Amino acid sequence: MLLLRNVDTFTPAPAGRTDILIAGGRIIRVEAGLSVPDGFCDVVEGSRWLAVPGFIDGHVHLMGGGGEGGYATRTPELALSDAIRGGVTTVVGCLGTDGVTRSGEGLLAKARGLEEEGLSTFIYTGYYAVPVQGITGSIERDLLIIDKVIGVGEVALSDHRSTQPTFDQFARVAAEARRGGLLSGKAGVVNVHMGDGPRGLALLRRIIAETEIPVTQFLPTHINRNPALFEEGIAWAKAGGLVDFTTSTVPAFLAEGEVKSSTGLRRMLDAGVNIAHMTFTSDGQGSLPDFDAQGKLRGIGIGRVTSLFAEVRDAVQQDGVPLATALQVITSNPARILKLKGKGQIAAGADADVVLLDPSTLAITGTIARGRWLMRDGDLLVKNTFELGPVSEQK
Catalytic positions, written as ranges: 283
Rounded to a whole number, what is the largest CA-CA distance in the chain? 69
Query: What is the 3-class SS of 24-82, one letter each residue?
Result: CCEEEEEECCCCCCCCCCEEEECCCCEEEECEEEEEECCCCCCCCCCHHHCCCCCCHHH
Q: Do 91 and 114 meet the contact criterion of CB atoms below 8 Å apart?
A: yes
Closest to 247 measured CA to CA, from 267, 222, 269, 220? 222
Query: Whole-angstrom Cα distance, residue 285 to residue 75?
Result: 6
Q: Is the peptide bond before 212 cis (omega within 30 degrees of 0)?
A: no
What does DSSP assign to residue 325?
H
**C-alpha distances out from residue 305 to 56, 64, 359, Å:** 10, 12, 22
DSSP classification of residue 382: -
Distance, CA of 254 to CA of 288 (rounded, Å): 12
As a residue count, the chain comes to 395
The residues near 32 (Cβ < 8 Å, ≥ 6 apart) are 6, 16, 17, 18, 19
Rounded to whole angstroms, the Cα distance separating 380 from 216 reads 38
